[in-house]
Amino acid sequence: MYGKIRTNQIEENKQFTYGIITDFDYVKSGAVVLKYKFLVRNKKYISKDGNLIKESNYKYFEGKHFPVVYSKKDPNKNYILIFPYAFKASGIPFPDSLAWVKQYEKW
pLDDT in tens, 16-45: 999 999 999 998 777 899 999 999 999 999
pTM score: 0.87
| Banded model confidence at residue 5, pLDDT cuts 50, 70, 90 | very low
Q: What is the pLDDT of residue 7?
A: 66
Judged by average pLDDT, the poorest of 6-10, 30-34, 70-74 is 6-10
Would you tell me which CATH number, out of the four given (3.90.550, 1.10.3470, 2.40.50, 2.60.120), belongs to the domain 2-104? 2.40.50
Indicate if the alpha-carbon torsion angle 89, 86, 2, 17 is positive or negative. negative
DSSP 105: -
b vs e for 11-21, b when ≥16 Cβ sit within 10 Å of the residue's Cβ?
eeeeeeeebbb
